Structure 1
Amino acid sequence: MTSIALTDPSRTDPLAGGARQWRVDLYYPAVAGTGQARPYADDPILLARMTESGYYDIPAEDIRAWAARPAPARRDARAVEAALPLVTLSPGSGVAAFHYAELASAIARRGYAVAVVDAPYLGLSRLADSRIVSGTDDPVQQADDPHAWQPRVIAWAQDIGKTLDALPASRGVRATGLTLDMARILAVGHSLGGTVAVEVCSHEPRVSACADFEGVVDGTTAYAEGPVRPTLLALSRSAKPERPVTVPDLGRPPFDFLSRGQQDTHWGVSISGGSHMSFSDAPQVMPSTLTRFGGTLMDAGRSQQVYVGIVDALGRAFFPGGGGNAVLAAYFESVPEARATHAAPTSLKP
């Protein structure tokens, strides 16, 4: 992996003023033995803030232990010689970007570059000027109505576009030999970051498809107008014998927006044995944040396999020349924990 500090002087920080800034952690397949080993959490200032603020009610000693845990990716390693498809990954509300390192590395092992876009006031971020910012600082995000958040969601979606501008296909970015295939891009996100991913698909023509894991879609452009690019919404719950996994109902919220599109490439997915925090490193490093509601969860290894598989199948389906719906259908057929369906275009419905 490598980290990149980005600034957009054409837009301002919504609270502090000045140029808008954010960080990107870029993960990619690398040549074995190159780069530098590093700890899972290598920012002591950010860790101190987490400890002070009671980050997700995790004990202080567990937070400090992340500084001793080995990271799954080496810093500034030599990239493999290939033009890599790109996945942008938007964090959940208040979640630190490094809590997607295990997930992003697992996606990278499938042959992707993964840009964890640590947008300001979305996760928990330390900016290049050393300020620590999170959604709790933002009065707009304290509103209960998701429509009130739309200006922030649009701004975070614009951060994805600006990140794509900074990652050209023709040269490496602070990592020897790294080449990105900018014709093959997915936007994915967790929780509020999933909301951002759906918004990206409404505005960013460079993105082939998007996936929202656990994010509210009400208030997005796609929810109001229907998705215009292949879109997947996945919701997860713990498994209980009396709560069998069922196919999503595309006639009811929140999946109903998928049927407003003019294509049959929009997918609703229900996952049994997952949690709101499963599309992150929570199963590996902070299992106390996983919600069970009296049920059981997949083990950490299986959870990662299922969620990474969804991202990979989405790319293989909808990148240029991909296999389309048949790829996703075959993948979900092989995953007993998941039930999925895709929307028929509105124009084809009686």
Structure 2
Amino acid sequence: MNKIIRMCAAAAAAAGLLLAGAPAALAAPPAATTPAPPVPPAAQSTGKLELPRPTGPLAVGRDTVHLVDPARKDPWVPTADRELLLSLYYPAVAGTGSPADYMTVAEAQALLTDRGELGRHTTPEQVAAVRTHARAGAVPRWGHGRYPLVVLSPGFTLPRASLTTLAEDLASRGYVVAAVDHAYESDATAFPGGRMLGCKACEAVFPDRSVGKVSDARARDVSFLLDRLTGDRPAWRYSRLIDARRVGMAGHSVGGASAAAAMAADPRVDAGVNMDGTFFNPLPEAGLGGRPFLLLGGDPALLPPDLEDHSWEEAWPRMDGWKRWLTVTGMGHPGFTDWPVLGDQAGYPHPETPLSGTRAQQITRAYVGDFLDRHLKGLPAPRLDGPTTADPEVVFQRR
């Protein structure tokens, strides 16, 4: 664990946004008391930042749902009930609704302050105003059957907005997507009632190195989320869009480890994806009930030898269903999120991700999407069968 903590600090100093690693479960500890140095306006991007367009044929709507679990106290703030904030993406009627916000200015300010270097190239206002491709309040696309549900869990200290590109793409391909902010686990998330919740979990996790508590808590979050989205009294007004018999989960960093934890705890999760996340808790000896799992990692060559992570090797034999272990040459830890795409546009190519942001997202969306298509929709996904000249960066580590 010492190497993980050292890696957090090193990446915070060198890269600004996220730690390097493949896989590596934590983002750098927040450093809100050390704001990024002021930068002359000429050094910052003045252009509009925009996420890549979804690749699917469907228009995308977005809704926001706040969930409170009165039966469970928050693991980081024991006096509070556990809370989740969801962005729900869904197939929609084209031309309805209004452009969906990326995040609030206050959330963007906290992100740039805690991560440092990117703040020298852009402003909180620009990050908050990133152009998305979902439409808030859009009319759902009814009459085409129900859609599989995919839960997305972000990296530690990162907001759910960090996976917006992937969320919008999956919804455009015919999924309902629930991107989750887990209370007190991000730099800052604006919850209802004007409350800005910071990373209280960091105060516990980094000093005592109890990272496994994060994935355990998130596994319980997912079970509660499924109860509230697919139960008899659903919390979402469009819950009839969801096919509760087809549920997948994908996550970045510790969110990816949480996908396996959720599968181990809840048989309703049919398939899982870990994008570059260390398993701080071992998988059950009994496996995952024969359910499919995808390991999609960054480039091992980008990690110094003393920061190598062996948790995937230990987990691999316990994955007892369909499985793949892929790595992406030139992809650093942040490459599975929106940040390299936005960094490229802001004039800050992320030093921990030599692969361009555009290419990193092309690969992430293609392989995660095809995995879910194969296992939740029964569609062919030949790119998962072996190496292809179309994607020379993708390496099949285990066959």
Say whether 1:7 aligns with 2:68. yes
TM-score normalised by structure 2 residue count:
0.72
Q: SS of the residue aligned with 1:156?
A: helix
State the partner residue of 2:204: 140
Question: Which amino acid is the alignment partner of residue 172 of structure 2?
Answer: R
Give the aligned residue type for 1:58: L
Shift of 1:90: 0.3
Residue 191 (str. 1) matches residue 285 (str. 2): no
Q: Which residue of 1 aligns with 2:373?
A: 316
Gap regions ≥5 residues in structure 1? 244-251, 344-350
Contact 1:332 1:339 in 2 (8 A): no
Percent identical across equivalent pairs? 26
Q: Distance in 2 between matches of 1:182 and 1:221?
A: 25
Q: 1:286 to 1:140 in 2, by over 3 A?
A: same
Q: Which runs of 5 or more residues in structure 2 are unaligned?
A: 1-61, 304-308
331-340 or 177-186: which moved more?
Answer: 331-340
CA drift of 1:166 comes to: 1.6
Residue type of the alignment partner of 1:108: A
Which 10-residue stretch deviates more, 70-79 or 205-214?
70-79
SS of the aligned residue for 2:219 comes to helix
- From the superposition, tell whether residues 169 and 316 of structure 1 become closer, same or farther in structure 2 (CA, over 3 Å): farther
1:167 Cα deviation (Å)? 1.4
Q: Provide the aligned length of Structure 1 versus Structure 2.
A: 324
Distance 1:290 1:182, change over 3 A: farther
Distance 1:238 1:138, change over 3 A: closer
Paired residue secondary structure (1:308): helix
Shift of 1:336: 1.7
Name the CA distance, whole Å, in 2 between partners of 1:216 and 1:238.
Answer: 13
- Say whether 1:64 aligns with 2:129: no
CA contact 2:273–2:295 (8 Å) conserved in 1: yes
Q: Does 1:86 align with 2:149?
A: yes
Matched, 1:28 2:90: yes
Counterpart contact for 2:228–2:234, Cα < 8 Å: no
Q: In the alignment, is residue 44 of structure 1 matched against residue 105 of structure 2?
A: yes
Structure 1 residues 197 and 69: alpha-carbon distance in aligned structure 2, compared to 1, 3 A threshold: same
Given that residues 5 and 21 in structure 1 are in contact (C-alpha distance below 8 angstroms), is that contact kept between their aligned partners in structure 2? yes
Q: CA RMSD in A?
A: 3.1
> Aligned to 1:278, what secondary structure does the other structure show?
helix
Name the amino acid aligned to 1:156: R
Tell me how far apart the structure 2 counterparts of residues 168 and 264 of structure 1 sit (CA, whole Å): 25
Matches within 5 A, 1:1-350: 1-16=62-77, 17-41=79-103, 43-50=104-111, 53-59=113-119, 61-81=122-142, 82=144, 83-124=146-187, 125-135=189-199, 137-143=201-207, 145=209, 148-168=210-230, 179-222=241-284, 226-228=287-289, 229-237=291-299, 253-261=310-318, 263-287=320-344, 288=348, 290-292=350-352, 296-297=354-355, 299-319=356-376, 321=378, 328-329=384-385, 334-342=390-398
Cα contact 2:251–2:257 (8 A) shared by 1: yes
Q: Which has the higher contact order (CA 8 A, sep 6+)?
A: 2
> Scaled by the length of structure 1, what TM-score is found?
0.81
How far off its partner does 1:193 sit?
Answer: 1.0
